[in-house]
Amino acid sequence: MKERIGVYICHCGGNISDYVDVEELSKMFHKEENVVIAKDVMFACADSNQKDMVQDIQENKLDAIVVCSCSPKLHLHTFRSVAARAGLNPSNYVQVNIREQCSWPHSDRPREATVKAAGLIRAGINRVSFSESLEDIQLEVKKSVMVLGAGVAGMKAAIDLAKSGNEVFLVEKDFFVGGRIAQKDKLFVTGQSGKQIVASLYDEIKKQSNITIFTGTSIEKVSGSLGNFHIDLKVKPRYINGKADKQAVKRAMEECPVEVPDAFNLGLTKRKAIYKNYPEALPDVPVVEAELLKDQPDFTAKFASTLNLNEQEETISLIVGSVLVTTGYENYQPKEGEFGYKTIDNVVTLPELNRLMELNPQKLVYNGKEIKSIAFIYCVGSRQKKGENKYCSRQCCTSTIYTSLQLKEKYKEMQTYHLYRDIRAYGKQEVLYTQSAKQGDLYFKYEDKEKDFPVVEKVGKNTIVKVKDSLTARKELEIEADLVVLVTGMVAREDSTHISELFKIPIGRDRFFNEIHPKLKPVETVIKGVYIGGTCQGPKNVTESVQSSLAGASKITALLKSGTVAVDPIIARVDTDACTWCGKCADVCDYGALKVVEVDGKKVASVNKAVCTGCGICAPVCPENAIEIAQYTDKGIESMIDGFMLDVQIQEKEVNADEVQDENAVGMKEYPQVWKEILAGMTDEKNTIPQIIENSKLKGELVTYHLMTMNKYGVVVPAGMDQKEEYFYYKKK
Amino acid sequence: MSKVNPKFATELAKYGSDDFNACFNCGNCTATCSLSTTDSSFPREMIRYTTLGLEDEITASLKPWECYYCGECSTECPRQANPGELMMSLRRWLTAKYDWTGLSGLMYKSLSLSLTAFILAFAGVMAFVFSIHFDMERMMHVGHLFEMIAIGSVAVVILLPNIVRMWYFTILKPKTKVSFKKYVTSITDLIVHMFTQKRALGCDDNQFRWFEHFVLVLAYLSLLFTTVFLDWFNATNLFIIILGYVESAIIFVVTVDFVSNRVKKNKAVSKNSQPSDWFFVIWLLLMGLTAFLTRMFIDFGWLESNKWLFIVHLTVLVQWALIIVPFGKWTHFLYRSFAMYFAKLKES
């Protein structure tokens, strides 16, 4: 129990004191038991008052303080630091909100506002008398990080994390690193190919001794928390004998009799059952699809020493301090018949076209026909009217325009048609749009309504796209194209739900991972120690992906730097005497913070301090009342209720009759100078704006703007229109 | 349903304008144009038709003729797509389109062909003067005769059918219903626009340009009348002689200004000059100059010893009448005024 409490009641310069009788309240609480000081102050947050408070605390040996002012959202930290400066533990401070909760909402009933304030203050005093001095919880953390996904975002972040002295485990589900950018040829702005970027990043990773890459690896199980995540990995075998001769491996690849559609080329080509995504793919070891070679005994016998078909899956357990999720995205796959996809033979998606371009260095050929004109249909699978992909995929406009420039550069004779809803070539990417328009690419804008979407049709041998072009007065135009390309957007990966369940990262309706706050905590998740970067969070281009993953890497480095982490002490705690371990608390806990432990041979619940967020859901479900949240103890809360319910007798504040008459429509003591001048300019019974401008000699816009405001607040009122019906008349109220 | 034809852009580039692909359809050009109205708005629409290659729409349109090229749109264009020059190029293209012989188009597109035509005309004149042994009197006589015959036959064989074609493309083919009465009552518009170019006064640039052009047209038409019907070179009436001097001097002075503007490129309208533009102004200038000098040499009795002067004049005359009038820029005199007439017919 606190016995030397200081209470400060703020006027807020009239914001509170105009309605709540703060002087009366301070007199009242001065007599309260355990209250040593009760003061009303003009601005509690003012520097001078803060100094006074520090002095008060020290001189009077106060053990707790209550400030009754505005919302804690505004000044909780201000007064906590006042307490700390005076040598008082900050958790012995309580803020009571008598502005947003009393004076502002109850300005029409000052007496009741004062009574309510008195109740809240008493509740605050009671609460603070049960407060305890709490210190931040210090957790030891391991300086190691797992980066999930070795795309451009993950690889770059891994390098930065390693350079900052962290042990890094880079885990990739595919057998080769690089992710989606390996499927792209040239990339804006530098013109480097995706594969070049992947190769240089891989090279840099290899130079770092503290990065371990796992390919063909998936996450099986996650437990533990910030500082000590226990993660089980499953590593799939490559079925290649590690000691085999490189030439023999190469021969095996060439001679392999089984062919399947090549997923890396989006099914446009076939590959062998022993394969690499592309010849320079890294790590430089091919993968065998053992399943497919089951019925090829001759082949497997011939390459018995090269292949290792008995290799087993491996499970590896790792402990890491933090996790960076950079699992990336998937390309939107159009439904059958969506703009003729799969139903018309020359309709492909943009990622497919990008693969085609790389596979056709000389002439662009699809289905055995040389392509000389391409119609792009934008926003396929993005900005959906129906369906969950309401978002704009952000990078596809630029990607298409850049592709269009590449097409012209590579194949010379190429006419492109761009059917768009809006071109969003933001920032420096606008340059590309200009270039594209100047090289003769034609742009058509279709309306953002489903019925106005372009239609792809086959007329004889020709493919025709029909579009109602907004730029040509919505005339229906016919475009003949050799190839129709659907500009598909980014969607969340199929396995994002699985990852979300493992790490408990929240996902949105669009199934991308959610950060805590898009502006202020853009790479943090609600799970402490788990960060997100790149396109697993939402559509981004390469630059933005790397920016966000590096932001995550920096946050992690800062977090793990000292080897310990301070967490908020307001969390659940278990009374081990009362606890009988029924498990109900663990059942309701969203974070898995409660586990059973044995204390002196008795099974009781234990709180993982690193994981608990202090949400309080466990406390009410405990049948033994053995669990409570620090600072929110039952005793404390009950005393607040008692305090609030106590009867308060307060005299109604006498209001000076003259003051009331002086008040005007707005409740201002005095109108601003401009308003006075405008009112002075209203010389007639009723005046139009031009007349007032004429009379007042003020600027036209100023008068118009202020007159609108004055009208809104009822200082002036409209009084019909003039004869020509050009202007409204206004008169003073 | 109109079919998009990107190849049209390449075709039109041969008529001068090739910047229009930069257009991003903001419509600043239409907003800034002082002649564009809600009912008949341009040039953005024409730029769009051109980029998409909607030939039928362009052929049926009178809008290129409704523009009098102040150049404001090109100055204001945020993409330097040069809409003014596009409208100019469309007028050239339409001129070629209306011409049933197809020679206009060939000459617009090929400078060497135009030059060949000019050389052939010169050779023809030389062959003729040789054949009559430089007999001054016969040269003068035939020159005068030529003028009359050339005017008549070019009008009947080339210009009239082309006007009919223009009428077919812009009125008949788009199925515009026009009453006979309207054809008659609107004729005043044709006359007014033909002789005053009234519409050009609506342009925001200085009215002096209109005045110069107006004076030039009057001088040109009256000189034509003076030489053909009043037989200026053989006239003895002092009034007629002085009238001819004044007319040819005006032509000379005004065209000198036009040519110097094109050389200096000081206004939007004179920034882009195609060969057809040069031929037109320079030959007009030469006509005025050589006619003036010829009459002066006659008056001073110098012509007999300076036959070359009349040969030059005759050459300029022949080239003008056989090349520039039927297939060159001269036709804008007709198409512009008929466009205003047809536009009036289209008004409901």
Three-class HEC string of A20-40: CCHHHHHHHHHCCCCEEEEEE
Mark whether A177 and A323 lie in a shared domain: yes
Q: What integer is the mean pLDDT of B181-209?
A: 89
Residue A661: its pLDDT value, please? 44
- B13–A contact, CB cutoff 8 A: no
DSSP assignment letter at A68: E
Mark whether A416 and A354 lie in a shared domain: yes
Cβ-defined contact of A476 to B2 (cutoff 8 Å): yes
Which residues, including other chains, have CB under 8 Å from residue B64's CB and lie 6 or more apart?
B42, B46, B58, B87, B90, B91, B94
Question: Which residues in A lie closer than 8 A to residue B52 (C-beta atoms)?
Answer: 442, 469, 472, 477
Cβ-defined contact of B21 to A437 (cutoff 8 Å): yes
Cβ-defined contact of A480 to B51 (cutoff 8 Å): no
Q: 């030529």: which residue's tokens?
A: B146
The answer on pLDDT for A719 being more than 70 is yes
- A477–B contact, CB cutoff 8 A: yes
Residue A345: its pLDDT value, please? 92
The answer on pLDDT for A714 being more than 70 is yes
Find which of A433, A445, A471 to mutate to test the B interface (most B CBs within 10 Å of its CB). Answer: A471
Distance from CA of B13 to the nearest CA of A (A): 12
The three state secondary structure string of A178-192 is: EHHHHHCCECCCCCC
Predicted confidence band of residue A666 (pLDDT cuts 50, 70, 90): low
- Domain total of chain A: 6
Predicted confidence band of residue A565 (pLDDT cuts 50, 70, 90): confident
Give the tens place of pLDDT for each residue, A346-384. Answer: 999 999 999 999 999 999 999 999 999 999 999 999 998
Give the tens place of pLDDT for each residue, A264-301. Answer: 999 999 999 999 999 999 999 999 998 898 888 889 88
**Number of helices followed by number of strands (H, E) in chain A:** 20, 37
Predicted confidence band of residue A168 (pLDDT cuts 50, 70, 90): very high
End position of a domain, from candidates A489, A510, A540: A489
**Which amino acid appears at position B292 of this protein?**
F
Number of C-alpha atoms within 13 angstroms, CB side, residue A340? 23
Predicted confidence band of residue A609 (pLDDT cuts 50, 70, 90): confident
Rounded to whole angstroms, how far apart are CA atoms A430 and A202?
32
Supply the CATH number for residue A554's domain.
Answer: 3.50.50.60
Mark whether A14 and A50 lie in a shared domain: yes
Q: What integer is the mean pLDDT of B66-92?
A: 92
- A434–B contact, CB cutoff 8 A: yes
Rounded to whole angstroms, how far apart are CA atoms B189 and B167?
16
Q: Are strands A167-171 and A211-214 parallel, antiparallel or unpaired?
A: parallel
Question: What's the distance, CA B283 to chain centroid?
Answer: 12
Mark whether A575 and A625 lie in a shared domain: yes
Give the burial class of B82: count Cβ atoms within 10 A of its Cβ; 0-12 exposed, 13-18 middle, 19 or more buried.
buried
The answer as to whether A640 is a domain residue is no
The answer on pLDDT for A668 being more than 90 is no
Give the burial class of B76: count Cβ atoms within 10 A of its Cβ; 0-12 exposed, 13-18 middle, 19 or more buried.
middle
User: C-alpha distances in angstroms, A76 versus A71, A116, B242?
Assistant: 8, 21, 101
Find which of A373, A431, A442, A462 to mutate to test the B interface (most B CBs within 10 Å of its CB). Answer: A442
Q: What is the mean pLDDT of chain B?
A: 92
A238 and A175 in contact (C-beta within 8 Å)? yes
The answer as to whether A648 is a domain residue is no
A478 and A469 in contact (C-beta within 8 Å)? no
Give the tens place of pLDDT for each residue, A100-121. Answer: 999 999 988 888 899 999 999 9
- B55–A contact, CB cutoff 8 A: no
Using alpha carbons only, how large is chain B's radius of gyration in Å?
21
The answer as to whether A289 is a domain residue is yes
Residue A405: its pLDDT value, please? 96
- A415–B contact, CB cutoff 8 A: yes
Residue A662: its pLDDT value, please? 44
Peptide bond between residue A189 and the one before it cis (omega within 30 degrees of 0): yes
The answer as to whether A149 is a domain residue is yes
Residue A663: its pLDDT value, please? 46
CATH fourth-level superfamily of B7-98: Alpha-helical ferredoxin (1.10.1060.10)
End position of a domain, from candidates A630, A651, A678: A630
Closest residue to B24, CB basis, from A437, A440, A472: A437
Q: 């509170």: which residue's tokens?
A: A16
End position of a domain, from candidates A630, A653, A681: A630
Tokens read off for A548: 């966000």
Residues of chain B with CATH 1.10.1060.10: 7-98
Residue A556's domain comprises 144-235+319-328+493-564
Give the burial class of B340: count Cβ atoms within 10 A of its Cβ; 0-12 exposed, 13-18 middle, 19 or more buried.
buried
First to last CA, chain A: 58
Rounded to whole angstroms, how far apart are CA atoms A506 and A537?
11
Q: How many residues does chain A have?
A: 733
Give the burial class of A66: count Cβ atoms within 10 A of its Cβ; 0-12 exposed, 13-18 middle, 19 or more buried.
buried
The answer on pLDDT for A531 being more than 50 is yes
Mark whether A371 and A450 lie in a shared domain: yes
Give the tens place of pLDDT for each residue, A84-94. Answer: 999 999 999 99
Question: Which residues in B lie closer than 8 A to residue A480 (C-beta atoms)?
Answer: 3-4
Among candidates A203, A188, A200, A196, which has minimal Cα distance to A543?
A: A188
Q: What is the mean pLDDT of chain A?
A: 91
Distance from CA of A189 to the nearest CA of B (A): 21
Residue A30: its pLDDT value, please? 87
Mark whether A672 and A588 lie in a shared domain: no
Mark whether A482 and A345 lie in a shared domain: yes
Cβ-defined contact of B21 to A417 (cutoff 8 Å): no
Mark whether A371 and A469 lie in a shared domain: yes
The region, left, alpha or beta by phi > 0 then psi within -120 to 50, assigned to residue A148 is beta
Mark whether A30 and A96 lie in a shared domain: yes
Closest residue to B4, CB basis, from A440, A473, A477: A477
The SS3 call for residue A673 is helix
Give the tens place of pLDDT for each residue, B316-329. Answer: 999 999 999 999 99
Predicted confidence band of residue A626 (pLDDT cuts 50, 70, 90): very high
The answer on pLDDT for A250 being more than 80 is yes
A329-340 in b/e form (b: 16+ CB < 10 A) is bbbbebeeebbb
Among candidates A109, A116, A121, which has minimal Cα distance to A19?
A: A109
Question: Which residues in B lie closer than 8 A to residue A475 (C-beta atoms)?
Answer: 2
Q: Which of A120-134, A429-443, A605-619, A643-657 has the lowest mean pLDDT?
A: A643-657
Cβ-defined contact of A471 to B45 (cutoff 8 Å): no
The answer as to whether A241 is a domain residue is no
Supply the CATH number for residue A12's domain.
Answer: 3.40.50
Share of chain A above pLDDT 90, in %: 67
The region, left, alpha or beta by phi > 0 then psi within -120 to 50, assigned to residue A684 is beta
Give the tens place of pLDDT for each residue, B280-300. Answer: 999 999 999 999 999 999 999
Give the tens place of pLDDT for each residue, B223-254. Answer: 999 998 998 998 999 999 999 999 999 999 99
The SS3 call for residue A591 is coil
Rounded to whole angstroms, how far apart are CA atoms A118 and A24?
10
Give the tens place of pLDDT for each residue, B201-229. Answer: 888 777 888 999 999 999 999 999 999 89
Rounded to whole angstroms, how far apart are CA atoms A666 and A688?
22
Q: Which of A646-660, B120-134, B308-322 has the lowest mean pLDDT?
A: A646-660
Q: Which of A106-115, A484-493, A657-666, B10-19 has the lowest mean pLDDT?
A: A657-666
Tokens read off for A81: 């630091």
Mark whether A103 and A195 lie in a shared domain: no
Question: Which residues in A lie closer than 8 A to residue B21 (C-beta atoms)?
Answer: 437-440
The answer as to whether A106 is a domain residue is yes
The answer on pLDDT for A660 being more than 80 is no
Rounded to whole angstroms, how far apart are CA atoms A325 and A147?
6
Cβ-defined contact of B6 to A437 (cutoff 8 Å): no
Cβ-defined contact of B21 to A439 (cutoff 8 Å): yes
Tokens read off for A664: 């005007």
Question: Which residues in A lie closer than 8 A to residue B4 (C-beta atoms)?
Answer: 417, 442, 477-480
User: C-alpha distances in angstroms, A235 versus A167, A228, A499, B171?
Assistant: 19, 21, 17, 77
Rounded to whole angstroms, how far apart are CA atoms B127 and A373?
54
Question: What's the distance, CA A466 to chain centroid?
Answer: 39
The answer as to whether A643 is a domain residue is no
Residue A674: its pLDDT value, please? 79
Among candidates B279, B224, B233, which has minimal Cα distance to B251?
A: B224
Mark whether A159 and A209 lie in a shared domain: yes
Supply the CATH number for residue A713's domain.
Answer: 1.10.10.10
Give the burial class of A725: count Cβ atoms within 10 A of its Cβ; 0-12 exposed, 13-18 middle, 19 or more buried.
exposed
Tokens read off for A359: 């596979």
Rounded to whole angstroms, how far apart are CA atoms B63 and B339?
8
The answer as to whether A130 is a domain residue is yes
Beta strands in A558-593 (DSSP E): 564-567, 572-574
Q: Which of A242-251, A390-399, B182-191 has the lowest mean pLDDT?
A: A242-251
Which contiguous run of DSSP H or E holds residue B212? helix B207-228
- A442–B contact, CB cutoff 8 A: yes
Tokens read off for A387: 């369906």
Q: Compare all CA atoms of chain B with the CA of A436 and give the residue at the minimum distance.
A: B22
Residue A128: its pLDDT value, please? 94
**Number of helices followed by number of strands (H, E) in chain B:** 19, 1
Mark whether A619 and A475 lie in a shared domain: no
Cβ-defined contact of A476 to B1 (cutoff 8 Å): yes
Rounded to whole angstroms, how far apart are CA atoms A219 and A233?
5
A247 and A311 in contact (C-beta within 8 Å)? no
DSSP characters over A252-264? HHHH---EEE-TT
Statement: the pTM of the whole predicted model exceeds 0.80: no
